[in-house]
Amino acid sequence: MSQSKLRLLDLFSGIGGFSLGLERTGGFKTVAFCEIEEFPRRVLAKHWPGVPIFYNVRTVAYDGPVDVIAGGYPCQPFSGAGKRKGADDDRHLWPAMFSLIKKHRPTWVIGENVAGHISLGLDAVLADLASEDYACRPFVIPACAVNAPHRRDRVWIIANSAGHGWEQGLAHSGGFLEGTPPREEFGFGDGGKTLANAPGSGLEGKQRTLVERSRIRLANSSQWETEPAVGRVVAGIPNRVDRLKALGNAVVPQIPELIGNAILQSMRAA
């Protein structure tokens, strides 16, 4: 593995949770963001001065080399809190992210979405990636797996275009969450539940079963009976509503950090 850092194009960037976590590994460097909301754009500009921030994922004009594309594409088309219109939802932006993947051909792709994506739209995402010769695996990793004080089940998709020994470093889940303290308690004793072996494999029912099994173990765990109140932003702080919205939309940075370390480990093992 080269000593140079992997160049990251961070899409749907929000307040930079992906970049914060991945850069904390020491092996990634953000080369560009894309974020449409004004307040998060100001946060990104403050903490990553000089890094370009594109406005619309459909018109990103970054032309430099990219090793990693990461992003939590909008969840509204798949979330149980909405109408679940999937590809018919105007906010379905996976195709825009996929266009950038085809353009830049990064070695790694990291995606994130809500657990409702498992039963709606995930197979299409995996099929798209497979059509471009990416090997990919989705995992359900809740926020509490990295000691965050809330459950927050999320689907994380990790895809690789070049081998890099990733079958040892990522797909074999025993190494994926190695060293994560609470993984036994939360149903991730094998390092994260792999949801599908291949796009269109007919595993949708099994995928749902794996998610429900994880939720049952969480509900029966001794850490808490109900999710505790999560302190976020106190009253009187400037831009409180914007901050709350940005935090609600953000990924927990420790999970991209975990994934980033696994990627670097798999590349060193190649």
Q: Annotated catalytic residue: which of 34, 75, 136, 144?
A: 75
What pLDDT score does 79 carry? 66
Mean pLDDT of 155-173: 65
Mean pLDDT of 182-200: 33
User: Which stretch of 18-27, 52-61, 258-267 has the lowest confidence by average pLDDT?
Assistant: 258-267
Residues near 112 by beta carbon (within 8 Å), at least 6 away in sequence: 18, 71, 72, 73, 154, 155, 156, 157, 251
Which of 53, 131, 121 lies closest to 99, judged by CA?
131
What pLDDT score does 83 carry? 66
What is the 3-state secondary structure of 79-116? CCCCCCCHHHCCCCCHHHHHHHHHHHCCCEEEEEEEHH
Instruction: Record the tokens describing residue 259, joined without a space.
Output: 């994934």
Cα 91 → chain centroid: 18
Q: What are the residues facing 199 on neighbouring strands?
A: none
Average of per-residue pLDDT values in the chain? 75
User: Which stretch of 13-17, 61-65, 153-157, 184-188 has the lowest confidence by average pLDDT?
Assistant: 184-188
CB 192 within 8 A of CB 173: yes
What pLDDT score does 109 carry? 96
Q: Could you tell me the pTM of the whole model?
A: 0.77
Mean pLDDT of 27-50: 96
What pLDDT score does 141 carry? 85
What pLDDT score does 101 carry? 97
Say if strands 53-54 and 68-71 run parallel, antiparallel, or are unpaired.
Answer: unpaired
Give CA–CA dist 56/11, Å, rounded. Answer: 9
What pLDDT score does 241 carry? 76
Adjacency order of strands within the sheet including 68-71:
53-54, 28-34, 6-11, 68-71, 108-114, 154-160, 135-140, 193-194
pLDDT greater than 60 at residue 220: no
What pLDDT score does 231 carry? 60
CATH homologous superfamily for the domain 6-269:
Vaccinia Virus protein VP39 (3.40.50.150)
What pLDDT score does 81 carry? 66
pLDDT greater than 70 at residue 211: no
Instruction: Report residue 170: phi and psi, to 5°.
Output: -125, -55
Instruction: Report residue 258: phi and psi, to 5°.
Output: -60, -45
pLDDT digit string (tens) for 105-158? 999 999 998 888 887 888 889 999 999 999 988 888 888 877 777 777 888 999
pLDDT greater than 60 at residue 23: yes
Which of 14, 23, 107, 5 lies closest to 53, judged by CA?
14
75 is annotated as an active-site residue: yes
Mean pLDDT of 54-69: 96
pLDDT digit string (tens) for 64-86? 999 999 999 877 766 666 666 66
189 versus 87: which is more confidently predicted?
A: 87
Give CA–CA dist 44/46, Å, rounded. Answer: 5
Instruction: Record the tokens describing residue 86, joined without a space.
Output: 């999937």
